[in-house]
Amino acid sequence: MNTLRNIILDFLLQLNFSETIRVIIADTILLIGLLVISIISYFIFKLIFKLTIKKAGLKSNTIFMKGLVESKVIPNLLKLIPTIFLIQLIEYIPTYQAFIDFILVIVIAYFVIKINMSIIDFINDLYNKYNKNARNKPIKGILTAIKIVIVVIVVIVVISNLLGESPTVILAGLGAMSAVLMLIFQDSILGLVAGFQMSANDLVRIGDWIEMPKYGVDGHVIDVTLTFIQVENWDKTTVTIPAYKLISESFTNWRSVFDNGGRRIKRSVNIDVKSVKILDKELYDKLMKVDYLKEYLTTKQTEIDQYNKERNIDTTVALNGRRLTNLGVYRIYLTEYLKNHPHIHPEMWRIVRQLQTTNKGVPLEVYAFSSKTSWGDYEAIMADIFDHIYATTTYFELKIYQEPSGDDIIQRINKS
């Protein structure tokens, strides 16, 4: 390296450059050359990694090897190669040595943090894949705390190196200033901690639909920083809230709804109690023509007849023995209707159930998940289902409870 520098200096001497200019030009040429060579060496090692180690690791049958080559551990380690190359040769460029040393300290610290973060993430991935109880006993919180400690240690070491002081001196100074710093930067510190927690636990991402009624938040997240969250509401207004509010208080995130591909439908209709009755032969024959009910009615009626026969029950009286009711059969019909609905998620809960009877009748609740999660599609699917419910109750000789309106009262008065 010295020989090359001397060659350049001799060449510049022939061009009648002064000593200072010659040194600056020679060191600049060498620095540019070192940077180019270091970058080229990085890409060469990266290509070798992809063609050899990564290729072999992906073909491996072990989770460890596959996880290692798919993680960011090795790529982050490869980024240290240009830095190490510069460290070894920068002493031959005295003009820029002090400046480059300063930059290299910061760059190395950054890569050390990146490498440690990727190793910790790799450990977390391995834990989740190997440990069957990983979901019940996650270690992500502990690893996040380790990440924070590593960052703090690296930052203190870098500052002490740049200032030429011992790390203990920096720690002592920080201890004396901690009370003042906490008071002045309280919101920033809380936001910083909250930002780390949200990032580590993946609580909020850009594009998530979140709700916090207390702060008027109901819309999509458009920006996430370490100190604040910005949300665009459905009415196109923008709300900015401190990040620590999402940690200290509860909020609703609809991301899992869209990720799972099912949005819950939970709505009930009130059936007039006076319209509930035991199925007579006429209504039974009528319902036997319904495709969704043929199999159920045949099987259930056979079971009921056998039950009543074994116990010598007098079936001439409607109250004796077991009987089918129009409300019970209607429940089965709606359940089958949901099972065959093209936009109801087949792998999620589908239930039609009775709720506690009130002074407004028997609430019949539909609990299911639509396979389309966008707001417009979801509302349309739910409306179609309940349109069908409103239209089919009369076929089962059921009535939907509805409080009397002014016209109903007037008609009753006129009739009387």
Q: How much is the average pLDDT of 90-95?
A: 66
Domain boundaries, the chain: 2-198, 202-253, 263-406
Confidence of residue 179 (pLDDT cuts 50, 70, 90): low
Which of 27, 157, 44, 46 has its CA nearest to residue 89? 27
pLDDT at 355: 93
Supply the pLDDT for residue 23. Answer: 65
Chain segment 256-284, per-residue pLDDT in tens: 777 778 888 999 999 999 999 999 889 99
Q: How confident is the model at residue 143 (pLDDT cuts 50, 70, 90)?
A: confident
pTM: 0.52
Q: Are 249 and 203 in contact (CB under 8 A)?
A: no
Task: Tell me if residue 209 falls in helix, strand or coil.
Answer: strand
Torsion of CA 142, 145, 150, 156, to 10 degrees: -160
Give the CATH fold of the 202-253 domain.
SH3 type barrels. (2.30.30)
Q: Give how far Cα 149 sits from Cα of 88, 144, 206, Å.
A: 30, 9, 27
Q: What are the pLDDT digits (tens) for 344-384?
A: 998 888 999 999 999 899 999 999 999 888 888 999 999 99
Q: Which has the higher per-residue pLDDT, 23 or 323?
A: 323
